[in-house]
Amino acid sequence: MRYVRIVFYLLVVIVLTALAVANRDVVTVYTGPDMTDYGLPPVQAYDLPLFALPLGGLAVGFILGVIWEFLREGATRRKLRLAAKEAEARAQEAEKRAGPAPKTEADEDLKAIAPA
């Protein structure tokens, strides 16, 4: 499975590199329509390589997806954290009730071979 993932990532890198090399031409990107005829200020214009537009869109989409999933899974993480605290409290309570574990021959054997 690990090799399949590596091959997949290599194919993605090759495709993205081919896209970037094939679309090196510079294009002008405007932040909005030209509304100077109606008395509005001119819009910003940026000169970018053509491949930067789809790659930038992918990057923004990835970041928004990570943020969305982090926020969506917050309730699950909270439940797991509370369950872990409760399990730890129950384990400590059970340990108090049971008292110390009785000594066995295995404990003595382990002490004999354990480094000091």
Is there a domain that residue 1 lies in?
A: yes
- Alpha-carbon gap, residue 88 to 81, rounded angstroms: 11
Residue 80 has pLDDT above 70, yes or no: yes
Question: Could you tell me if 81 and 38 lie in one domain?
Answer: no
107 — pLDDT class (breaks 50, 70, 90): low
Predicted local distance difference test score (pLDDT) of residue 115 = 66
Please state the domain count of the chain.
2
pLDDT tens across 18-66, in order? 988 898 899 999 999 988 889 899 999 999 999 898 889 999 999 999 9
92 domain residue, yes or no: yes
pLDDT of residue 16: 87
Regarding whether 39 and 5 lie in a shared domain, the answer is: yes
Using pLDDT thresholds of 50, 70 and 90, give the confidence band for residue 111.
low
Residue 11 belongs to a domain: yes
User: What residue type is 107 in one-letter code?
Assistant: D
Which range (53-67, 69-83, 99-113) has the least confidence? 99-113
Would residue 71 count as lying in a domain? yes
88-102 pLDDT tens trace: 999 888 888 877 666
Domain membership of residue 56 (yes or no) is no
Read off φ and ψ for residue 108, nearest 5 degrees. -65, -40
At a CB cut-off of 8 Å and minimum separation 6, what does 20 contact?
A: 49, 51, 55
Q: Would 105 be classed as within a structural domain?
A: no
**Residue 95 pLDDT:** 83
pLDDT for 116 beyond 60? no
Domain that holds residue 24: 1-50
- Shared domain check, 45 and 2: yes
Q: Please report whether residue 42 resides in a domain.
A: yes
Please check whether residues 68 and 92 belong to one and the same domain: yes
